[in-house]
Amino acid sequence: MGSNFEFMNAKHITDRFIKYVKIDTESDPNNPAFPSTEKQWDLAHVLVAELKEIGMNEVTLDDNCYIMATLPSNVDYKVPTIGFVSHIDTSPDFTGANVQPQIHENYDGKDILLNKAEGIILSPDYFEDLLQYKGQTIITTDGTTLLGADDKAGVTEIVSAMEYLIQHPEIKHGKIRICFTPDEEVGKGAHLFDVEKFGAEWAYTMDGSEVGELEYENFNAAGATATITGKIVHPGYAKGKMINSMLIANQFIAALPQGEVPEKTTGYEGFFHLHDMHGNVEKTVLKYIIRDHDMDLFQQRKTTFQKVANEINKQLGKELIQIEIKDQYFNMKEKVLPVMHIVDIAEEVMCDLGITPLIKAIRGGTDGSQLSYKGLPCPNIFAGGHNFHGRYEYVPVESIVKATKVIVGIAQKVAEKFQ
């Protein structure tokens, strides 16, 4: 690895990140259009112009808001074409409009006041990971929005790495393809990804969290809806006639394993997550996500979900609970294991850079999980952020720079290995 990595311009990279996060790109889970929000085009057009400006080739923006570009090989021998992928949208779980980033230099390990007027504090007493970054420069929100490091940190790192490689032709590399996708946060980021057009043998999503994360396992995932039908009559004459769907919904919730929820599970443990509920006497709808790393356990969870509904329906003597379950994505491990050298390369690069690899399973999913099943093996690498999808999101500048170096290092390492 070239020592000139040490001279990456952190301010230039930070300014790029700040520019991106100020552009609202929140996606919409309720809109079937592609992309799900028009405002994602705003960042897409900025990126297209910037990629051309830094000297990337074959810069394209298709009708579905996928951006692709090429950095040509600068060696005279055959090297596998590799790719890097990030998403431009931010989560609809918390607003990404009017993001006001705050930069905290030389973090002292104490509470960070995000918003004095509203008394919003980012505290290491609650978010212990903050203490890893004492002495570093932390970028936060003002407490009223998310930050958007998921995944504009990844976008920043890919653009910055490509720019660095263009400016440093002494670093040898093969052909590199990059892609920025829309709608990852609503589960559609890879749906219209043209793997053949992308033309890479493998790729990496820059969509992980803390420094060192390297992931090639993720949840198997399904979305599940329980719709409970009740019957409304005047409460004064309700005996034997009213059926309160909300009370049946409560019975359904209580019948699922109470310890198998996100806030009580970790590692490889799966869960049932109730993320939305609304209703009245006549109708209540419960929306869940079902997750497990193990395929057999994943199938059992879906069976359990239906079984609980069947048992309550039997008790009531009526089919009042209707279940709909849709698979969303699967564990990429099955597709990556046959080509584990692509993980080994990323691990080697991290070690070369003095970064301790944290190889673990993702308790979620990325575009890479779906892309792996579409024929593009795609492990996930850290982008550096923490506390995604909420007001306490933050990212250290040093982490963004390290991830940028990892991208450059992978490009260089692949060229070395196939020389």
Q: What is the pLDDT of residues 23-65, one digit of tens each?
A: 999 999 999 999 999 999 999 999 999 999 999 999 999 999 9
- pLDDT at res. 338: 96
151-to-213, 215, 315, 383, 394 alpha-carbon distances in Å: 15, 16, 47, 8, 12
- pLDDT at res. 4: 54
Where in the chain is CATH 3.40.630.10?
3-218+331-417
**Distance (Å, rounded) from C-alpha 209 to C-alpha 140?**
15
228-to-120, 258, 301, 313, 318 alpha-carbon distances in Å: 38, 20, 20, 10, 11
Q: Once rounded to an integer, what is the mean pLDDT over residues 192-199?
A: 97
What are the backbone angles phi and psi of residue 411, rounded to the nearest 5°? -60, -45
Q: What is the pLDDT of residues 203-254, one digit of tens each?
A: 999 999 999 999 999 999 999 999 999 999 999 999 999 999 999 999 999 9
Q: Decide if pLDDT at 3 tops 50.
A: no
Task: Kindly indicate the confidence band of residue 364, based on its pLDDT and cuts at 50, 70 and 90.
Answer: confident
Q: What is the CATH number of domain 3-218+331-417?
A: 3.40.630.10
Positions marked catalytic:
89, 184
Among 27-31, 341-345, 361-365, the range scoring the smallest mean pLDDT is 361-365
Q: What is the pLDDT of residues 72-128, one digit of tens each?
A: 999 999 999 999 999 999 999 999 999 999 999 999 999 999 999 999 999 999 999
Among 131-145, 194-208, 240-254, 364-378, the range scoring the smallest mean pLDDT is 364-378
Give the E-state strand segments of 259-406 in sequence order: 271-279, 283-292, 321-329, 358-361, 380-382, 394-396
**Distance (Å, rounded) from C-alpha 173 to C-alpha 82?**
10
CB 293 within 8 A of CB 270: yes
Where in the chain is CATH 3.30.70.360?
220-328
Closest CA to 384 of 213, 262, 270, 179: 213
- Residue 109 falls in which region: left (phi positive, over 0), alpha (psi -120 to 50) or beta: left
**Distance (Å, rounded) from C-alpha 385 to C-alpha 180?**
18
- Mean pLDDT, rounded, of the chain: 95
Beta bridge partners of 323: 226
**Distance (Å, rounded) from C-alpha 382 to C-alpha 70?**
22
Cα 116 vs. chain centroid, distance in angstroms? 30
What are the backbone angles phi and psi of residue 51, rounded to the nearest 5°? -65, -40
CB 159 within 8 A of CB 65: no
- pLDDT at res. 366: 77
User: Is the previous residue joined to 151 through a cis bond, with omega within 30 degrees of 0?
Assistant: yes
CB 281 within 8 A of CB 232: yes
Task: Kindly indicate the confidence band of residue 328, based on its pLDDT and cuts at 50, 70 and 90.
Answer: confident
Q: Decide if pLDDT at 2 tops 70.
A: no
- pLDDT at res. 5: 62
Percentage of the chain modeled with pLDDT above 90: 94
- Residue 271 falls in which region: left (phi positive, over 0), alpha (psi -120 to 50) or beta: beta
The domain made up of 220-328 is a member of CATH 3.20.20.70: no
Q: Once rounded to an integer, what is the mean pLDDT over residues 287-304?
A: 97
What are the backbone angles phi and psi of residue 94, rounded to the nearest 5°? -155, 145
**Distance (Å, rounded) from C-alpha 185 to C-alpha 180?**
13
Q: Once rounded to an integer, what is the mean pLDDT over residues 184-197?
A: 93
